[in-house]
């Protein structure tokens, strides 16, 4: 089980790193940041996402004695949504006008952990 969790963490870090790089154009915070700060923000976000996905997988696996895509999706979407609300209120980041929104937060970040997490878990189990 530890080996699987390590695989999920590593794979999800790299998938989220790519996601963050591509997605950063929707954040005013990233667009306006000098290069060293931009790199720091992207790496920090990818690490946070990788750890979050690994923890959510662990919770869904150990709490229900099996991995459930439904439990994983519910936890990851709820966590991402509330994290976005908190982060926007605290001024951690700001969206550009191009960010599509749902219920007051970014649409894509709300579903990011679920999508990148599902892909990471699938690849970790498959390989």
The contacts of residue 27 (CB under 8 Å, 6+ apart) are 93, 94, 95, 96, 99
Q: What is the extent of the structural domain holding 10?
A: 2-126
pTM assigned to the model: 0.92
Q: What are 43-77's pLDDT values in tens digits?
A: 999 999 999 999 999 998 888 877 788 899 999 99
Q: Tally the domains of the chain.
A: 1
Name the token pair of 24.
Answer: 């950063």
Mean pLDDT for all residues in the chain:
94
Instruction: Determine contact, residues 108/116, Cβ cutoff 8 Å.
Output: no
- DSSP at 66: S
**Rounded alpha-carbon distances, angstroms, from residue 37 to 4, 9, 45, 46:** 32, 24, 12, 14
């Amino acid at each position: 089980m530890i080996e699987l969790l390590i695989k999920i963490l590593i794979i999800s870090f790299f998938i989220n790193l790519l996601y963050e790089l591509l997605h950063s154009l929707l954040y005013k915070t990233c667009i306006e940041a000098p290069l060293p700060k931009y790199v720091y923000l992207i790496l920090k976000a990818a690490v946070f996402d990788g750890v979050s996905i690994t923890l959510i997988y662990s919770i869904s696996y150990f709490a229900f004695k099996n991995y459930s895509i439904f439990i994983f999706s519910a936890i990851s979407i709820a966590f991402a949504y509330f994290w976005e609300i908190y982060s926007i209120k605290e001024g951690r980041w700001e969206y550009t006008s191009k960010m599509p929104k749902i219920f007051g937060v970014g649409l894509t970040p709300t579903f990011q952990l679920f999508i990148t997490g599902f892909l990471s878990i699938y690849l970790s189990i498959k390989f």
